[in-house]
Structure 1
Amino acid sequence: MNIIGSSGSPVTPDTWNEREMRDALARRDVSEIYKQLRRHGVSQRQIAASTGQSQSEVSEILKGRQVMAYDVLARIADGLGIPRGFMGLAYDGATAVRVGSAKNPEAEEDESVKRRNFLSHAATVTMGAAVLGVEASAWNPASAQTPAPTRIGMTDVQQIQAATKALRDLDYRYGGGTCRDAVVAQLSWAQQLLDASATEQVRRHLFVALADMHSLAGWTSFDTGLLDPARGHFGKALEFAKQAGDEGLVACVLYRMGRVYLHYQEPNEALKLFQLGQVAAQESGCALTVAVLSANQAWAYGMLNRPDQVQQMLGRTKDEFARHDGREAPDWVRFFDANDLHCMIGSAQDALAVYSPEKHAPLAVAATMKANASYGPSMQRSHVFGLSMQATNHIRSGDLQEGIRTGRKALQLAERVKSQRIVDRMRPLQLEAARHRMNPDARELVEDVRLFRDA
């Protein structure tokens, strides 16, 4: 199929610089943008495929339906290859390059003039007085995108992998809010390498690296409450992973997208993704990946109040975890250690405790206590999740004071992590503590959690 922006497409980058198109972009008039694309020979189906919309949505927009949501506008811009700055969205490097390249080269300042202007700026800052009387900002050029190599090898791919690992470590420790923009920026540069020449082996490894980075971009987007961008990145990650033939990474992406649906209380949808991921996990031959998918299926079954299936999937999780060789596991699944195993068991029991607190709340407490005893600063977000579940189930079990004490510890750690998921996951603790409003300590905890969640 002829996709917008691909070789042979009727739409070239110059299309976005046409006067009528630029006017429509500046107004964010998506209906007019789509109409002009149709005049260029782009079908509704091509627009839908590029923007991630259904054909019916594209048809409604062509008929005049307005698009106002920032996330949707950004997705449309990215999908069609429109420089975001043309639509008044976040001004990016690609826009700067387009705008800069449109200037008359004869109007560019001579290098010697730029040197003098920078000297003036340096003198102003250092001595408090300009040397040449030129405005200090005159030397500062527009931002530009880092040039990408025309040929790449394994070293270039390894650099992407190293950047992904470093940013993933930040996500685990401090939450997606601290690193999402860096992940997206790194991804913008890394994707340029697709245009470089490379051997087939290097290209396959590049697909794996890009899939992993898109997966991290999806996860950090999800962690900061950006659902549409998360879904878009996970979709891209899935495509790259499949193109690379890496079934383990396919399973990982499906697991992460399933977790999005779990978070938004859609266990049936999550279960379908986990089951798809389980097939890929088994194909990969990685026992740890199979364990991760089994554990998450147990959690989904818990939310559906199906204790028999929970026990079955937890049994398989423990079996697969026991036989895995951590040295052979890829980076994207190594987070699943003994602490996470206990926390996932606690999550499944916590879900069942909503229906039968007297039976499952003590089991959730026991499992989460094991996890929380060993979580270190490198996994602060997981630690907060574990502590908030432990506190919630202490209260459900009748141990109010221990629940309040543990809840305060969770709240203290939560302040250090930038994660919308933590905000959402503190809600059950708030609700359980609110059942004991006659207790002044419980009442104070409820108020403190409320203030944290509102902030």
Structure 2
Amino acid sequence: MGPGTRISGGKQPNDRLASWFERTGWSKGEFARQVNRRARRLGALHVSTDTSRVRRWLDGEQPRDPIPRIISELFSEHFGCVVAVEDLGFKEPGALFTGSGVDLPWAPESVVDLLGEFSRSDLMLGRRGFLGASLALSAGPALVEPMQRWLAPVPVPPLPPRGPQARGRLGLGELEQLEETVRLFRSWDMQCGGGLRRKAVVGQLQEVTDLLQDAYPEPVRDRLFRLTAELALLAGWMSYDVGMQPGAQKYFVLALHAAKEAGDRPLGANVLGVMSRQMIHLDRPSDALELIHLAQYGSRDSAGPRTQAMLYAVEGRAHAGLGQADKCRRALSVAEQLHADAPEGDEPDWIRYFGEAEFSSEVGHAYRDLAYRGAGPAERAREPLEKAVRLFEGTAEYRRSLALSRVGLAAVYVLEREAEPACEAASGALALAGKVRSERLSSRLRRTAKSAVDLFGELPPVRRLADRLLGELPEAAFPSP
């Protein structure tokens, strides 16, 4: 039978699957057993495959989800390379990796399933050229409108038992240990950037999501969903930091869904604040503004003053990106008052980073962005950024924030046409870049150095900075996370 010959039912033999299958050396029975074992491990207890079913797949039948992904994982592990679902001649079930995938069902089982699938696929297939290229960013109404459903009241029943261990495998002591692990991951990220620990966070997220397959009392369930939201947010933030923007957005959206399941409005607002930062980074300030207004409205009665201060500071950044000087200043003024009123140690760990140094850095970057757009003097950005650098230098915990503040200050000096201070600030950031695995930091350093070269030409300090950058931080030197 030739490759184009149709068989009964109008299907064609799946030659792609047959090619990969023959290279394994497995019998049809062994292939079926491998699929069943992997399905049980994933909690897909309804999957029961036999030799006749394998034969039908080879004859062209499209298996149901999650079997195509299970086969993809099996072959990828067996051959030591990525064997994608489409490489096997299957259609992607649910189109998880096609398009942006941000308009998701607001239901607990969907959140658990999608988080499990996405984190598992990221661990196995998250290599530049596959997972990154298979996702696309959402923007404009396609992003904002689905996020507005975060506020919609949806009655959420407890997750039903979904397996033989439905009594719940997690005790309170273990839950506390996991919460402490998230705090440790967050600290590592601030010190070392997103590149070194990202896969560890994704792996922990995958394990915690698996625990959500069980049934728990409501207080434990809510804490576990909150923990899941924090891990998904951190995985997204680390992905954003290393330049994996579509994957980062996917994690942010899933984190927002998990925060909703936990009933934690302030955490959900924080997720939207991070999504706004990403849109500012991608030069989409209008989208950032829509998201931050949604965060402010949704958490107006529940977020503490430090969280609200952060949201208003990000709003100021979004207005600055639009060149709206008056609105930017008003938002920063509100943020300053809220931040001054914030008590120490009285809010969640995820907002602890937003102290005086981080607030000063946000203010300085907002005024720098206004200066970029000709909507204000660069001089106004200098003092808050210098203050941020001084404060960050007093602690080893916020190494990446120190480096980014130095780069921001260097950009201000370039705008003010002060070559030597610009090179000194950029060199200080470069000294930290080798200790911080952050493509965000690296790209900002390169961009600032290029601006200095374009403006100042062959001045000796500028030339020395450019040579150092080329030697210590070449563009090709940042490996795939």
Deviations 1:406-448 (A, max 9, x none): 2111111112100011012224421331110131211221333
Are 1:309 and 2:365 matched, yes or no? no
- Is the alpha carbon distance of 1:200 and 1:344 closer, same or farther for their aligned partners in structure 2, counting shifts above 3 Å? same
Are 1:28 and 2:84 matched, yes or no? yes
User: Is the 1:295–1:313 contact (alpha carbons within 8 Å) kept by the matching residues of 2?
Assistant: yes
**Once structures 1 and 2 are overlaid, which stretch shifts more, 193-202 or 210-219?**
193-202
> What is the CA–CA distance in structure 2 between the aligned matches of 1:14 and 1:386, rounded to whole Å?
56
Letter in 1 for 2:213: D
Matching of residues 168-179 of structure 1 within 5 Å: 168-179=186-197
> What is the CA–CA distance in structure 1 between the aligned matches of 2:119 and 2:233, rounded to whole Å?
23
Report the CA distance between 1:84 and its aligned residue: 5.3
> What is the CA–CA distance in structure 2 between the aligned matches of 1:78 and 1:169, rounded to whole Å?
23
User: Is the 1:384–1:410 contact (alpha carbons within 8 Å) kept by the matching residues of 2?
Assistant: yes
Matching of residues 222-241 of structure 1 within 5 Å: 222-241=240-259
1:276 maps to what in 2? 294
2:380 maps to what in 1? 363
2:12 maps to what in 1? none
Are 1:425 and 2:444 matched, yes or no? yes
User: Is the 2:115–2:206 contact (alpha carbons within 8 Å) kept by the matching residues of 1?
Assistant: no
- Is the alpha carbon distance of 1:346 and 1:450 closer, same or farther for their aligned partners in structure 2, counting shifts above 3 Å? farther
> What is the CA–CA distance in structure 2 between the aligned matches of 1:225 and 1:159, rounded to whole Å?
30
Report the CA distance between 1:269 and its aligned residue: 1.3
Are 1:377 and 2:396 matched, yes or no? yes
1:443 maps to what in 2? 463
1:205 maps to what in 2? 223
Report the CA distance between 1:28 and its aligned residue: 2.8
> What is the CA–CA distance in structure 1 between the aligned matches of 2:45 and 2:198, rounded to whole Å?
31
% identical aligned pairs:
27
> What is the CA–CA distance in structure 2 between the aligned matches of 1:287 and 1:216, rounded to whole Å?
22
> What is the CA–CA distance in structure 1 between the aligned matches of 2:353 and 2:120, rounded to whole Å?
36
Are 1:354 and 2:372 matched, yes or no? yes
> What is the CA–CA distance in structure 1 between the aligned matches of 2:180 and 2:166, rounded to whole Å?
17
The SS at the match of 1:360 is coil
User: Is the 1:153–1:198 contact (alpha carbons within 8 Å) kept by the matching residues of 2?
Assistant: no
The SS at the match of 1:329 is coil
User: Is the 1:391–1:429 contact (alpha carbons within 8 Å) kept by the matching residues of 2?
Assistant: yes
1:413 to 419, 428, 432: 432
User: Is the 1:148–1:189 contact (alpha carbons within 8 Å) kept by the matching residues of 2?
Assistant: no
**Once structures 1 and 2 are overlaid, which stretch shifts more, 177-186 or 154-163?**
154-163
Report the CA distance between 1:321 and its aligned residue: 0.5
For normalisation by structure 1, the TM-score amounts to 0.72
Question: Which structure shows the higher helix fraction?
Answer: 1
2:25 maps to what in 1? none
**Once structures 1 and 2 are overlaid, which stretch shifts more, 362-371 or 17-26?**
17-26
- Is the alpha carbon distance of 1:176 and 1:84 closer, same or farther for their aligned partners in structure 2, counting shifts above 3 Å? closer
User: Is the 1:267–1:303 contact (alpha carbons within 8 Å) kept by the matching residues of 2?
Assistant: yes
- Is the alpha carbon distance of 1:13 and 1:176 closer, same or farther for their aligned partners in structure 2, counting shifts above 3 Å? farther
Report the CA distance between 1:203 and its aligned residue: 0.8
Are 1:293 and 2:302 matched, yes or no? no
Report the CA distance between 1:172 and its aligned residue: 0.1
Deviations 1:17-45 (A, max 9, x none): 9633689745535283228x6xxxxxxxx
- Is the alpha carbon distance of 1:88 and 1:322 closer, same or farther for their aligned partners in structure 2, counting shifts above 3 Å? closer
> What is the CA–CA distance in structure 1 between the aligned matches of 2:402 and 2:50, rounded to whole Å?
47
1:196 to 214, 217, 226: 214
2:417 to 375, 385, 398: 398
The SS at the match of 2:377 is helix
Letter in 1 for 2:243: G
**Once structures 1 and 2 are overlaid, which stretch shifts more, 17-26 or 313-322?**
17-26
Report the CA distance between 1:187 and its aligned residue: 1.1
Letter in 1 for 2:336: K
**Once structures 1 and 2 are overlaid, which stretch shifts more, 9-18 or 363-372?**
9-18
Identify unmatched segments of 5+ residues in structure 1: 38-46, 56-75, 92-146
Report the CA distance between 1:247 and its aligned residue: 0.6
Deviations 1:192-240 (A, max 9, x none): 2212342111111111111111111111111111122212211111111
Report the CA distance between 1:82 and its aligned residue: 11
Report the CA distance between 1:329 and its aligned residue: 0.9
Number of equivalences: 360
- Is the alpha carbon distance of 1:421 and 1:88 closer, same or farther for their aligned partners in structure 2, counting shifts above 3 Å? closer
1:67 maps to what in 2? none
> What is the CA–CA distance in structure 2 between the aligned matches of 1:54 and 1:398, rounded to whole Å?
41
> What is the CA–CA distance in structure 2 between the aligned matches of 1:164 and 1:247, rounded to whole Å?
19
1:250 to 225, 250, 268: 268
Report the CA distance between 1:305 and its aligned residue: 0.9
User: Alignment RMSD, CA only?
Assistant: 3.2
Matching of residues 102-121 of structure 1 within 5 Å: none
For normalisation by structure 2, the TM-score amounts to 0.68
Letter in 2 for 1:429: T
The SS at the match of 1:33 is coil
> What is the CA–CA distance in structure 2 between the aligned matches of 1:417 and 1:83, rounded to whole Å?
26
The SS at the match of 2:456 is coil
- Is the alpha carbon distance of 1:284 and 1:429 closer, same or farther for their aligned partners in structure 2, counting shifts above 3 Å? same
User: Is the 1:152–1:196 contact (alpha carbons within 8 Å) kept by the matching residues of 2?
Assistant: no
Letter in 1 for 2:339: F
